[in-house]
Amino acid sequence: MQSTMMASPLLVPHMTERAAKLFPSVEVVSVLPNGTRHRSTLGDLHRRSRQLAGALQAAGIIKGDRVATLLWNEREHLEAYFGIPVSGGVLHALNMRLHTQDLAHVVAHAKDRFLIVADVLLPIYEQLREFVQFERVFVVDRAGEKLPEGAESYEAFLASADNTFTPPELSEYDPAAICYTSGTTGKPKGVVYSHRSICLHALCTSLPDQLSFSRFETVCPISSMFHVNAWGFPFAGVMAGSKIVLPGRNLQPEALLDLMDQEQVTLSAAVPTVWMGMLNALETQPGRWKLSPRLRIAMGGAACAESLVRRFDALGIHVIHAWGMTETGPVATVSSLKPEMTTWSNDDRYAQRARQGMALPFIDLRAVNDEGECPWDGETTGELEIRGPWVAAGYHGIEDSPQWTADGWLRTGDVVTIDPEGYIKITDRVKDLIKSGGEWISSVDLENTLIGHHAVREAAVIAVPHPKWQERPLAVIILRDGACVDAGELRSFLELNFARWQVPDAFVFVEELPHTSTGKLLKTKLRHDFRDWQWEPA
């Protein structure tokens, strides 16, 4: 017996087609480099993304060809998100924060044919072109200055489309976007999302118990559109018919809060460090911003300290912690409570919300250690492994990778516990665990606790070789402006929650911590910097 259902594929082009039919006048607000706001609509988005697809087709794009972007979270980037896949091309949003060499590597590795670049980002392109060449370069030339040699105007390119666009035959398994990991070790590796994986990710993140995308939301992805597609917010938001707000290049807390206030944003997404900056502004300038009472903020890309959830709650802003990685589309788990948990104590509820949460529908996960699959007891730690329709099965152009198990699960590199309720909690990265005297110490737990101290702005805990214990934890601390604290006080503070042997032996106060291009702590650098640390004799 065969199913009698239609073989209608899940395709990215459907998203703007739907929005243009049902929500044509819903706004797309895009902050320009000069700080003013450009206002257009989802109808415009559909029309212009089809124009882009038509222009790419006229330029000779062949299904699967890569088109790179070097753009902020802005209107033209949104057009590229849809126009490139509509043309049959593959969107490659370049992470402008990578070093030129790494950027050149990913462009060459992806074999990007075309580039769309904002005029304000031309300096990056100028560096890049010393190493790689694009067939054609289209500049979003708002300032109207002279274009680099050989480059063309994006608007002129769009205008050149003669409205004879013929949609290519697409399968849902065709590639639609490529994202490179920003791993802390080794070269960036490419993950190629399919139309199917993007559509299913959009559907499942949109569910009421997950991030809940709706036409009643105003969605503002602060998380970069060049970093795992801004967690899929542009796709899910447009599919739902949400108002879209794109913050452009100014990610200063006050500018973001002005925007979120004036556009009454209800759903946003960013990494914890960005939220921390906004939180400080909100706390030090109470009453200055009137944010939407419905505002929900998704926090991901790094562990979310419980204290952060509490402080936002005190301001009436609901934090949703989510977890994922480039290899998982990216959102794989979301931490929201179960009905019976709403009666738990405050402390228990906050502890639960600060976990990384439960798997989305159609995502399977397990924790594995030397003894095999870990029980869901909230205590046994193992490496998180994952599979599902928007999880990578391999890297682009790499034959075999130890990242996948023999039975086809992705090894995430995160060490987790899974509690009986099914919530994962990341206790460390596999390579960030500290092995002291045969016992494991979690650097992430220490960091999250340290951040809860009123004087601490940011904290990193790393393993440093030790003559007796093999490794011992060392804490590197940035204090808040004007705050003052010494190692003794931090040690006592930690001893409230940790065994004495788990507490760092040294506290180093610094002005700055090294981060990856996507805002994650660059522990490899820290470990390198402190590799010759001399422990005081006990």
Nearest distance in Å: CB 4, its own copies: 4
Q: What angle do CA 233, 413, 172 make, to 5 degrees?
A: 40
Query: 3-state DSSP call for residue 522?
Result: coil
CB 95 within 8 A of CB 269: no
Question: Of 209 and 377, which CB lies nearer to its own copies in the complex structure?
Answer: 209
Shortest gap between Cβ of 340 and its own copies (angstroms)?
8
Helix axes 13-22, 233-240, angle to 10 degrees: 40
Q: Which residues bind its own copies (CB under 8 A)?
A: 1-10, 14, 18, 21-23, 64-66, 90, 173-176, 178, 190-194, 196-197, 199-200, 203-204, 206-209, 212-216, 239-241, 329, 338-339, 358-359, 361-362, 376, 387-396, 408, 421-422
Shortest CB 339 distance to its own copies, Å: 5
Cα 513 to Cα 176: distance, rounded to the nearest angstrom: 35
CB of 381 to its own copies, least distance (A): 19
For residue 92, the cross-strand partners are: 68
Of 171 and 252, the one with the shorter C-beta distance to its own copies is 171
Closer Cβ to its own copies, 23 or 165, answer by number: 23
Whole-angstrom Cα distance, residue 219 to residue 232? 11
Do the beta carbons of residue 61 and residue 89 sit within 8 Å?
yes
Evaluate whether 388 touches 455 at the Cβ level (below 8 Å). no
Q: From the candidates 327, 385, 447, 458, which is the catalytic residue?
A: 327
| Catalytic-role residue among 440, 471, 524, 533 | 440
Given the residues 21, 290, 435, 468, select the one marked as catalytic.
Answer: 435
What distance in Å separates the CA atoms of residue 381 and residue 497, rounded to the nearest whole number? 19
Among 71, 21, 16, which residue's Cα sits nearest to residue 48?
Answer: 16
C-beta closer to its own copies: residue 391 or 521:
391
Nearer to its own copies, 199 or 308 (CB): 199
Which residue number, 209 or 486, has a Cβ lying nearer to its own copies?
A: 209
How far is the C-alpha of 141 from the C-alpha of 322, rounded, in Å?
Answer: 36
Q: Between residues 21 and 99, which has the closer beta carbon with respect to its own copies? A: 21
> Does the annotation count 181 as an active-site position?
yes
Report whether the peptide linkage leading into residue 330 is cis, meaning its omega lies within 30 degrees of zero.
yes
Side chain identity at residue 4, one-letter code: T
Give the three-class secondary structure for 240: helix
Q: Where are the alpha helices (DSSP H) in 296-385?
A: 306-314, 346-353
Q: Determine which one of 181, 205, 333, 518 is catalytic.
A: 181
Least Cβ distance, residue 18 to its own copies (angstroms): 6
CB of 76 to its own copies, least distance (A): 24
Q: Is 435 considered catalytic here? A: yes
Q: Tell me if residue 189 is catalytic.
A: no
Please choose, from the candidates 121, 54, 45, the residue with its C-alpha nearest in 3D space to the C-alpha of residue 81.
45
Q: How far is the CB of 506 from its own copies (least distance, A)?
A: 42
- Looking at residue 467, what DSSP letter applies? T
Burial class (CB in 10 A: 0-12, 13-18, 19+), 286: exposed
Q: How many CB atoms lie within 10 A of CB 146?
A: 8
Among the listed residues 250, 306, 302, 303, the one whose alpha carbon sits nearest the alpha carbon of residue 278: 250
Which residues are annotated as catalytic?
181, 327, 435, 440
